[in-house]
Amino acid sequence: YSASEKESRGQHAAVQPFSDEDASIETLSHCSSFSDSVSVADEGGEAEDTAQEDFQYKLKVYIDCTVDKSAKTRQGALDGLKTAMATRILYEFLLERRMTITDSIERCLKKGKGEEQRAAASLACLLCIQLGSGIESEEVFKTLKPIFKTILNDGTANIQARQACATSLGLCTLVAEDDILDVYATMECFETLFTRSYVREDGSRPSLNPQTTQLHTNALLSWALLLTICSASHVTAIIHKHLSKLPRLLESEDVNMRIAAGETIALLFELARDVDPDFNSEDWEPLCDKLNALATDCNKHRAKTDKRKQRSVFRDVLKAVEDGDFQTEAIRFGTERMVIDSWVRKRTYDAFREFVGSGMNYHLQANEFIRDVFGLGPPMLIDSAALKAMKSSRLERVS
């Protein structure tokens, strides 16, 4: 820590201004409206400066409250910081406080219960998204990676915490892991989870509750995300090892697992054809039959909404496997437009959007790191009209 950071931590340790639960919650409730009050300051320089100072003060209160004795207060502080990081660019502010926030995340992951651990895991991702790829996010991740892995691999840990760690470990690895061999080691960690959902060769299903299946689904999606940054030789090795077995996940009782498996298979075929344009798997025909059955699923035991969602996805997956096609989508944000024209790009976009939510437009427009990931170039200068336009995102299919 810097001297000033140590000093401020020392002062708070001595004074404990937020140790009383009611006072803490009252303080947090005053802060909870920050995202409305200072989203865009059009009033001119002085008012803008005041709004900015007020906003930063509120963020500092949240940071202090992440170490409060009250679980309710800590939860409110984590949620407040998550909202701030999802909807604003806070690089400079977070840069000098990154290790203090990392300490808080570490403490909440180790000592908190399910919901608090889940919020802390999400906050870790948002912090890495704010800091971007580089030494700063690497430092954050080096501290948190072993904790993520410990929780993820602990069968006795809270299942919600394990689900959150599966998702957060994937995105943090994408952003902040500096060694590709460590990326591969983390992928193996995910493999040990989702392969437990494979329907066995004799057709029998593993006995899993829905929460465990969700954990395996999250692990599969994080594994697929990291596939997008693997070397061609590693992709080839993974195809030999996994492509013949992944279709077993298509027989899962869980619609989200079936969809995640379908999209991962489409992604693998896309990556395989990048390496070898003539690629086709040995089990191509039975796989296409299985995908076609899911794209036209009329199983009366399945919920209508599940079937509709599944049919739509599997029509696209079938086109990808049969013809190498991708149904292009365009995302409009402000005065710009980004095309999602591959499964690699879709998996990456979906992963970031899971954390920043409705703030994705803002990050596409103003976050240098996310713009770099999608090849959008440096942020454009934005006037107030563009800022207002930015608030409504439109996703459209391009024929």
Give residue limits of the domains in the chain: 1-159, 329-397
Give pLDDT, residue 5: 39
CA–CA distance, 190 with 75 (Å, rounded to integer): 28
Residue 390 pLDDT more than 60? no
Supply the pTM of this predicted model. Answer: 0.85
The rounded mean pLDDT for the chain is: 86
* pLDDT band for position 310 (cuts 50, 70, 90): confident
pLDDT of residue 18: 34
Q: What is the pLDDT of residues 165-196, one digit of tens each?
A: 999 999 999 999 999 999 999 999 999 999 99
In Å, how far are 5, 228, 270 from 274, measured between CA atoms?
48, 12, 6
Structure tokens at 227: 């596939």
* pLDDT at res. 38: 38
Confidence of residue 284 (pLDDT cuts 50, 70, 90): confident
Least confident span in 32-36, 113-117, 211-215: 32-36
> 150, 152, 170: which is closest to 161 by C-alpha?
152
Helix 98-111 vs helix 45-65: crossing angle, to nearest 10: 40
**Model confidence pLDDT, tens digit, residues 331-341:** 999 899 999 99
pLDDT tens across 287-309, in order? 999 899 999 876 666 677 777 88
Query: 90-124 burial by CB neighbour count: b if 16+ within 10 A, else e?
Result: beebbeebbebbbebbbebbeebeebbbbbbbbbb
Predicted pLDDT of residue 243: 93
At residue 232, the pLDDT reads 95
Distance of CA 73 to the CA centre of its chain: 24
How does pLDDT run across 42-85, given as a tens digit for each residue? 445 677 778 888 999 999 999 999 999 999 999 999 999 999 99
pLDDT of residue 391: 52
More confident residue, 368 or 33: 368
Residue 90: half-sphere exposure toward Cβ, Cα within 13 Å: 25
pLDDT at 6: 34
Q: What does the pLDDT read at residue 180? A: 96
For residues 374-378, give the mean pLDDT: 95
Task: Give the pLDDT confidence of 4-27 residue by residue, as tens digits.
Answer: 333 333 333 333 333 334 444 444
